[in-house]
A and B are shown apart, each in its own frame.
Chain A
């Protein structure tokens, strides 16, 4: 549509990133306010930490120390102010900085989520294309059955099945924990499977749509070879819908990582989140929700950028 030279496209990129950044601020604020107020409205962390036998004086003392006696808006402003300086507060339970606890676990979670995104892309695109090309043949039917099951099986159950199969019967890969590269195989497959099913289905249907279009008929009647028709003409144009879906799935994947980490004892943010939720450790919960949202927003920006890679007609910004 328009030929951008290097300079303007860089400028556009900067503008685009800036605009995305500005768009995310209200979203983050809403999330923070919601989580903050909800967690403060119920339960008293001081009583929770000190136990039922604590004297009222010591509970009061602790509430004063943690600033829990201030009005909620003031507590929130304090929290925001600290956040801007990189201070996410202290864990009520472990009396450690939340930021440190999160950064320790962040790597494992990011690894798992990005491994699953990569796995979903690498598997679903060829499968979807294969199914579309072999429309209504046995391989297409097989893939469609796989898609139906993959979309319906809950991740925690799939994880348990994989542990049963590999832990008990085959013993090829470790079924829980963290350490060697092989530890990630089962969690990543588990986390990715429903996404693979969904994306395969989308790639298949959008590929079919493209293959039935006029310009593909033109390409074929020009005498182009079938691989050339498929890979240079049809492929790129069928990727828009799946890539959009991947952006939405990123949020899903990050959320579902909580479940998968629990199943496989994967030491990521999800398990930290669960522990914090069980213990009503508010600062940790807030920190993790914030970081999860940041990951999702980051993934969304990446997806937006990849539109431009797939389709030069889409201008950034």
Chain B
């Protein structure tokens, strides 16, 4: 009896010690994460730019400089950095209805970003479930998922998305849904490849041997090990969705007024391109900057997880 008692005691000490060490490690890891960001210039720059864009886009409509929806005759086609007849300054000018471009840019950014982020979140969940299951289970499930992926990758995405948008509606949620169902294929393929890699590793075999349930293996062994790839893929996916959403909106198949997005703004300016180029150019530049920043973030994340790729 006494023996067992002391044994238990030892075990608790060891667990406690190990817990402390694990916590300490976790802490230093977190600290390392912060220094990584600070030391990685591209990552920090893109994070700063993206934060500014995000804060601007989420700024409440009532607190913008001007109402992004109210037309104003005296500032129609007003070039950037000029004042209208009332003496109000418009940093980015006015659009074809005299609405303040800067306010409108921020207001539209909200729709562009939320649509892309929602779609990317949706795709992340769907692709990680499908990819992990497909890679680990193999067999007919894998074959089926991969055939669907192949099929989706060989379709003209924009056309399909536009057709869907006219049919099932053009709200932010339906657009995000459309982006997601047309854009989950390559993400799933990458996660599947990761899961395949992890599947044959020793620790997975160990947990199989110790009788872990399928559920446990998928959630505790496979999924966490695809996390690094997931962060990279999600980042790239957001960029891709911003571009895709802007194309759909440019063609007039995106969100309907009073909602707006950067793509909608470029499309609106298309008719006045020679008289007032800023109406199209400003939102176009905004899309480009945002996508560059997101791609940079993705690249630096990839380099961070896989130093091998940084060589080039």
| Contact between chains at B163 and A39 (CB < 8 Å) | yes
Q: Do A30 and B151 form a contact, CB below 8 Å, given A42-B167, A255-B158, A280-B166?
A: yes
CB distance A152 to B251 under 8 Å?
A: no
Cβ–Cβ contact A154 & B159, under 8 A? no
A142 to B: closest C-beta gap in Å: 16
Indicate if the CB atoms of B266 and A248 lie closer than 8 Å.
no
Say whether A292 contacts B312, CB under 8 Å. Answer: no
Contacts of A30 in B (CB 8 A): 151
* In the complex, B291 has a CB within 8 A of chain A: yes
Quick one: which of A38, A148, A278 contacts B164, CB cutoff 8 A?
A38
Contact yes or no, B284 A154, CB < 8 A: yes
Interface of B is mostly: helix
Asked if A293 is at the interface (CB within 8 A of a chain B CB), the reply is yes
**A residues 104-120 with Cβ under 8 Å of B?**
none
Contacts of B267 in A (CB 8 A): 156
Contact A154 B163 (CB under 8 A): no
Residue B156 CB within 8 A of the other chain: yes
The answer to whether B292 and A27 touch across the interface, beta carbons within 8 angstroms, is no
**A47 on the interface (CB 8 Å rule)?**
no
Q: Mostly helix, strand, loop or mixed at chain A's interface?
A: helix
Confirm or deny: A224 has a beta carbon within 8 angstroms of a beta carbon on chain B: no
The listed residue (A163, A167, A285, A300) touching B163 by CB distance below 8 A is A285
What total of A-B pairs shows CB separation below 8 Å?
A: 141
Give B227-251 interface residues, CB cut-off 8 Å to A. Answer: 239, 243, 246-247, 250-251
Number of interface residues of A (CB under 8 A): 55
Looking at B19-27, B65-73, B205-213, B269-277, the stretch in contact with chain A turns out to be B269-277
Question: Given the complex, which residues of B lie within 8 Å of A161, measured CB to CB?
Answer: 281, 284
Which of B154, B246, B277 has its CB near the most chain A CB atoms (within 10 A)? B154
Contact of B288 (CB < 8 Å), options: A38, A154, A254, A256: A154
Per-position binary interface string of chain B over residues 155-197, scored 1 when its CB falls under 8 Å from any chain A CB and 0 otherwise: 1111110111011100000000000000000100000000000
Is B297's beta carbon under 8 Å from chain A?
Answer: no
Bound-state Cα–Cα, A247 to B51, Å: 36
Of B163, B284, B296, the contact of A157 (CB 8 Å cutoff): B284
Bound Cα distance from A254 to B274, whole angstroms:
29
Give the shortest distance, in Å, between A192 (CB) and chain B (any CB): 16
Interface size on B, residues (CB 8 A): 44
For B161, the closest partner residue in chain A by CB is A255
> Would you call A251 and B239 a contact (CB within 8 A)?
no
Q: How far is the CA of A156 from the CA of B147 in the complex (A)?
A: 32
Q: Cβ of A130 < 8 Å from any Cβ of B?
A: no
- Are B162 and A258 interface neighbours, CB within 8 A? yes
A159 to chain B: closest CB distance in Å?
10
Report the separation of the CA atoms of residues A270 and B266 in the bound assembly, to the nearest whole angstrom.
19
Is B48 positioned at the interface, with any CB of A under 8 Å from its CB? no
Residues on the B chain within 8 Å of A273, using CB? 159, 162
Q: Collect the chain A residues with CB atoms within 8 Å of residue B281's CB.
A: 160-161, 164
Chain B residues near A263: list those with CB within 8 A.
270
User: When the two chains form their complex, are residues A160 and B273 in contact, meaning their CB atoms are under 8 A apart?
Assistant: yes
What per-residue 1/0 map shows which CB atoms of A150-175 lie under 8 Å from chain B?
Answer: 01111111001101100110000000
Q: Which of A42, A153, A167, A280 has the most CB of B within 10 A?
A: A153
With A164-B273, A168-B274, A208-B312 in contact, is A292–B247 under 8 Å at CB?
Answer: no
Let me know if A204 and B295 touch, CB within 8 A.
no
B159 interface neighbour in A27, A153, A258, Cβ under 8 Å: A258
Contact residues, B282-297 vs A (CB, 8 A): 284, 287-289, 291-292, 295-296
Residues of A contacting B155 with CB < 8 Å? 31, 251, 255, 292-293, 296
Chain A, residues 230-255, CB within 8 Å of chain B (1/0): the string is 00000000000000000010011011
**How many angstroms between the C-alpha atoms of A234 and B163 in the bound complex?**
44
A90-B122 Cα distance, complex, nearest whole Å: 38
Residues of B near A168 (CB, < 8 A) are 274
Q: Does A154 contact B167, Cβ atoms closer than 8 Å?
A: no
Shortest Cβ gap from A95 to chain B (Å): 21
Q: Could you give 9 example pairs across A and B, Cβ below 8 Å?
A: A38-B167, A39-B167, A152-B292, A156-B251, A160-B270, A161-B284, A167-B274, A274-B251, A293-B156
5 closest pairs, A vs B, by CB?
Answer: A255-B156, A157-B284, A152-B291, A255-B158, A152-B292
